[in-house]
Amino acid sequence: MRDFIGRHEVGSAILLIAVYCFGSANVPGGSDSYWCILFLGCCALVITLGVCLSGNAGRYGLSSWPVHSRKFLYFIPLWIITSSNLWGGVAFSEHGIALAGTVVSMLFVGYIEEMLFRGLLFSALLKSEGVVTAVTVSSVTFGIGHIVNLFTGMDTLMTFIQVVYAVAMGFMFTMVFYRSRSLWPCIISHQLIDIFSYFINYGMVLSWIVTGVVFSGCIVYGIYLAKLPDEVTQQSEMVL
């Protein structure tokens, strides 16, 4: 398996993304169902085993937390954006076992999607194609992956908006990973964003305002990270 992943990194990442997206769109019972949790748990296990067997946990961003976080503004813009789903207050749409199941599912989702789109796909493309292609493909693919929401009942316009929103979010996550060489800030932020999405408590007007602010924040912070000198990345690599 290690040799296969080593020879076919991009292909392995794309295959896993396809399986994950197809399975997520077709798993019965919704995000809090036992079937969904089982499917996500299996995906997380397969990905983790693959990464461990490949011997590239460091290159995939799992070895450490960034030690030069001051260079990344202590990731404060990332954490502000992470909290955006709570800006209108908190409303509980689920309770009890259903809520617990949803939280577990979202923890898996954040981990799996960051490992697939940033840890595996971006790292593979960065090695073979260069920074610009790797950032572009990772960000756009992450956004396009949200088209599966069409199969879960979301209307076309809202799905399109979410795809564009996810591209911007993917750009920010990719730059955080690229510059810090750690996937953990992205994983934690992604998990919290998904969990907080079940507590949203704002109307249509505030929703559009938040969407615009978050979209702009992702782009601005991503560009800031892109303009950091290469020495920052080199320092981060030294601690892995």
Q: pLDDT per residue over 152-196, tens digit each?
A: 667 777 788 888 999 999 999 999 999 999 999 999 999 999 999
The parent domain of residue 79 ranges over 2-238
Cα angle 166, 206, 168 (rounded to 5 degrees) comes to 15
Quote the CA–CA distance of 218 and 221 in Å, as a whole number.
5
- Residue 231 CB burial class (10 angstroms; 0-12, 13-18, ≥19): exposed
pLDDT mean over 69-92: 94
pLDDT of residue 25: 79
Note whether 122 and 174 are within 8 A (CB). Answer: yes
pLDDT of residue 108: 97
Predicted pLDDT of residue 238: 38
pTM: predicted TM-score of the whole model, two decimal places: 0.91
Task: Identify which of 76, 90, 12, 7 has the alpha carbon closest to the alpha carbon of residue 47.
Answer: 12
Mean pLDDT, range 102-128, rounded to an integer? 94
Q: What is the pLDDT of residues 65-78, one digit of tens each?
A: 998 899 999 999 99
**176 touches 75 (CB < 8 A):** yes
**138 close to 118: Cβ distance less than 8 angstroms:** yes
State how many domains the chain has. 1
